[in-house]
Amino acid sequence: MEYMLRNWVNFCWTSGDLVVEQFIHEIDQMNWFLGDIRPVRAEATGGRHRRNTGDMFDFFSIEYVYENGMRTHCTSRQMNGCDNLNRVFVYGTKGYTNCFDTIFNLDGTEAWKYPYAEGETTSAHQAEAYIQEHIRLVTAIRRNDQVNDMAMHAQSVIIAMMGRMSAYTGKFVTYEEALTSPMKLGPDTYEFGPVPSVKEEIPVPGAPLE
């Protein structure tokens, strides 16, 4: 048990896998852009190349399908030695945006860019955004203005779980299946010592939902 708690990021029952633990922030942005509509199912693939401990995948490719036929595509990996890009792109009929500071025309030329102050860096601008969110939170607390985003956050978790479940099983997983699934990831008892009910076994796609 102590080994798994100290190595929590590599076990599905302690971290939720990298989709729920890390990639959920991009899923949050996706939901925000779409007006918090939820997908009806996830169609995902994934696997494990580099991770050498724990019981989870290290890369995913997930397509979320919506009631109107629209699809969103999410990819994520956690592998040392690889090039990385942490960005959400939203594409429209006239262009696309990196959801950070630039809107592009379809040919890749810039249509609009955030007007940075002279000497201001991208990293400093990002840090300022993190500071601003805390200012708003503390201000809301001091003014006794209730901010309750729990329903939105819970929905993002379910959507992330849909993607993980679909990749693990090799099956399409609906929102309702993820919401009502009896799947249990953790140990039978939460106490220090041996945990025989949780083993370092990698999920095999093609297995039925449990």
Looking at residue 3, its amino acid is: Y
Number of domains in the chain: 1
189 within some domain: no
Q: Measured between alpha carbons, how far is 192 from 181 in angstroms, rounded to an integer?
A: 27
210 within some domain: no
76 within some domain: yes
Question: For residue 106, what are the CA distances in angstroms to 61, 92, 127?
Answer: 24, 9, 29
78 within some domain: yes
188 within some domain: no
How much of the chain is in helix, strand and coil states, percent to nearest 5?
35, 15, 50
206 neighbors 172 (Cβ within 8 angstroms): no
Q: How many CB atoms lie within 10 A of CB 14?
A: 18
Angle between helix axes 150-169 and 24-33 (nearest 10 degrees) is 120
Residue numbers of the domain that contains 66: 2-180
196 within some domain: no
Summarize pLDDT for 113-170 with one digit per residue, the tens.
Answer: 988 877 777 777 677 778 888 998 999 999 999 888 889 889 999 999 999 999 999 9
Residue 105 CA, distance from chain mean position: 27
pTM reported for the whole predicted model: 0.87
Sheet holding 102-105, edge to edge: 90-91, 95-97, 102-105, 110-113
9 within some domain: yes
Summarize pLDDT for 65-113 with one digit per residue, the tens.
Answer: 999 999 999 999 999 899 988 889 999 999 999 988 899 999 999 999 9
- What's 115's domain CATH number? 3.30.360.10
pLDDT computed for residue 208 by the predictor? 61
* 173's tokens: 């997983």
If you ran DSSP here, which 8-state letter would residue 120 be given? -
47 within some domain: yes
